[in-house]
Amino acid sequence: MAAECAIDGCAVLAIGRCRECGRAFCMSHQAHNEVTGEGYAALCIQCLERRARVAGADARADARAATERTWVTSGQAAMDLYAAGIAPIPVVERHSRFVRQRFGRAREEIDEIEVGALWVIGRFEWTEMQEIPETREWTTGLLARPAGGYPVAMVARAVARCKVVDGLATLVRDAPYGDSWTQLERREIPRIIAAIRATISAESPAR
């Protein structure tokens, strides 16, 4: 007995079976290429429509994600933090020098020089690319002014690993002549953006 179309209870003589949903389909319920008009031998029209909906949803999600990344890389996130009245904390570099004292002794003096500012946004994963890569969480801050200023090419250039002591931050950098290179895990970018927005929302007055 010949198969009947199972799409919407059609029951017309089927000409093929959909590889995605497994249902038989007739000529009216066969999917067609929008450009050439040729029918797909093993795809029904409903599964083609489902593909289009999924692709559209993915495209919208990608567009939203790109907009969120641009919010950070353009410097707008930093401006919004300022606008919300959230002040960054100073970033300092510590410089050590030895000052000669009487009787030939030397005393070490440490100068703290302010070189920037950042907002601490949480702990996120960074991977140290060495012979055996190691991923671990680091305190991470959004830079008020990255090297060269905003805009930056990627979110990873707008944030930095840091250590905070007594309200002052110091940046954590790879050794200049080491064989490692540390990079932000890509999956952390949406979490970083969400953390920045949550910080702004928490400080913004209720409307």
Does the pLDDT of residue 2 top 70, yes or no?
no
CB 39 within 8 A of CB 18: no
β-strand partners of 52: none
pLDDT at 200: 96
Q: What percent of the chain has pLDDT over 90?
A: 71
The token duo for 186 is 């890509």
Which of 133, 129, 181, 124 minimizes the C-alpha distance to 158? 124
Axis-axis angle for helices 45-73, 189-203 (nearest 10): 60
Please measure the distance between the N-terminal and C-terminal CA atoms of the chain and give it in whole angstroms: 68
What's the mean pLDDT in 34-57? 92
Predicted structure pTM score: 0.70
Phi-psi region of 125 (alpha: psi -120 to 50; beta: other; left: phi over 0): beta
Alpha helices, DSSP H only, in 74-146?
76-83
pLDDT digits (tens, 9 = 90+) for 130-151: 778 889 999 999 999 998 999 9
Provide mean pLDDT across the span 66-93: 96
- The C-alpha atoms of residue 197 and residue 15 are separated, in whole angstroms, by 54
Looking at residue 98, its pLDDT comes to 60
Q: What pLDDT shows up at residue 178?
A: 62
pLDDT in tens, 142-198: 999 998 999 999 999 999 999 999 999 999 988 766 666 899 999 999 999 999 999
Token readout for 157 is: 């250039």
Residue 184 is encoded by which pair of tokens?
Answer: 């932000």
Pairing of strands 168-171, 159-165: antiparallel
Identify the band that residue 51 occupies on the pLDDT scale cut at 50, 70 and 90: very high
Minimum mean pLDDT range among 21-25, 27-31, 77-81, 128-132:
128-132
Tokens of 79: 């401006």
Q: For residue 4, give the DSSP letter.
A: B
* 201 DSSP 8-state letter: H
**Residue 99 tokens, joined:** 């000052």
Instruction: Calculate the alpha carbon distances from 79 to 72, 84, 124, 143 in Å.
Output: 10, 9, 22, 11
Mean residue pLDDT across the chain: 89
Total residue count of the chain as it appears in this document: 207
